[in-house]
Amino acid sequence: MSNPEVPWYLVDDIQRIDSPALLVYPDRVKRNIAIALEMVGDVNRLRPHVKTHKSQEITNLLLQAGVTRFKCATIAEAEMLGRCKAPDVLLAYQPVGPKIGRLLSLIKSFPATRFSCLLDSEKAAQGLAAAVPKGHCIDVFLDLNVGMNRTGISPQKAAALYATCKQLTGLHVIGLHAYDGHIADADTSMRKQRADEAYSQLVEVKKELADLGYSNPVLVIGGSPTFPVHASRTDVECSPGTFVYWDWSYSEGLPDMAFLPAALVVSRVVSVLSENQFCLDLGHKAVAAENPLLRRVKWLDAGELTPVGHSEEHLVMESAIANKYRVGDMLYGIPFHICPTVALYDTAFVIENALVKEKWQNVARSRTLSL
């Protein structure tokens, strides 16, 4: 039983853990999964992205909660899901080059899992169709660009490509996909307005397809920021990913959501430079560093700290309180961006009842597993 007067994140046997390290709190993960299911109302409309956790254990928690549909970004993540016997897996990427062969090998190796992928061009569609063995077919979603401007075909050109793909032997076109990761407004009314605009583009393509005789495509849309908006729709599958672990960026920028931080980094003081400055062992290789220096990690119960230097293996901090920190002191922090932070660690220490229970492999951080 946890003591409410003790901070939730503290680990009694923390000295067992070499730093820097990633900690995961399963009770909080389970709570986040329950919140997501409550928000969407129908487990069949939740297609969580596994890019954040990259873990078979978290995948199994989702499966135990009734989730059957998943989304991923890499062949390694897809293989991890196959190993977990996930029933339905969307590779949210257009396979090009060797990825085509790897995807087809994946489908052959895990027949219990229904795999699908994205397409946004006729050339890629033809390349994929040509590689599919005779007598077989692969499920595909058409990827729409609804404003992210990263991948996807223009919605105005989507119906024509959909019709073309329908005619290609080896392809089974089953739906439309749209990722609106460019929408993350803290203002909920503005976020809803922009998410509605993205959704309307999806609906317009669906109407065009109906006019061409192609009815009832599966619709997959959104990420974590727009999840509350799309969760209220009954005709789409929602694909948030960060919700399982949450992070500082979303905790601060999306205060309307009730998800809890469920993964932290821990770091030790390795050198004291002066009465106000010291160095931690949390370098670029231990926490995502693509954001400005002040927005990489939020230290818990240490609001007096300011980062002043960051390199591969070191993070120099300045304290407003003189002589507070000593060599060996441990700090707990919430990463600003959890997804690429997880990708920096082979394993995560599992914390239950303030103790280290075991270690989980972030197996899909690798580019290749076996295929």
The mean predicted confidence, pLDDT, of the chain is: 97
Using alpha carbons, select from 189, 168, 192 the residue that is nearest to residue 180. 192
pLDDT score of 6: 87
Looking at the fold, whether 217 and 297 belong to one and the same domain comes out as: no
Pairing of strands 305-310, 315-319: antiparallel
User: How far are the Cα atoms of 139, 163, 263 from residue 116, in angstroms, in the given order?
Assistant: 5, 18, 30
Q: For residue 79, what pLDDT is reported? A: 99
Residues 94-138 have pLDDT tens digits of: 999 999 999 999 999 999 999 999 999 999 999 999 999 999 999
My answer on whether 65 and 82 are in the same domain is: yes
141 and 270 in a single domain? The answer is: no
The confidence score (pLDDT) of residue 86 equals 99
Which pLDDT belongs to residue 5?
75
Q: Domain for residue 115, yes or no? A: yes
pLDDT in tens, 277-287: 999 999 999 99
CATH number of the domain at 226, please.
3.20.20.10
Residue 3 is predicted with a pLDDT of: 66
Same domain, 66 and 162: yes
Q: Which of the residues in the chain have pLDDT under 50?
A: none
Domain extent for 306: 14-22+262-365
Evaluate whether 266 touches 332 at the Cβ level (below 8 Å).
yes
Domain CATH number, residue 269? 2.40.37.20
Nearest one of 126, 179, 171, 174 to 152, comparing CA atoms: 179
Residue 9 contacts residue 264 (beta carbons within 8 Å): yes
Q: Are residues 87 and 209 in the same domain?
A: yes
The predicted model scores a pTM of: 0.96
Looking at residue 2, what is its pLDDT?
A: 59
Contact in structure between 276 and 322 (CB atoms under 8 Å):
yes
**Within a domain: 354:** yes
> CA 36 to CA 259: how far, in whole Å?
8
Residues 6+ away with beta carbon under 8 Å from 173: 140, 141, 142, 162, 165, 166, 214, 217
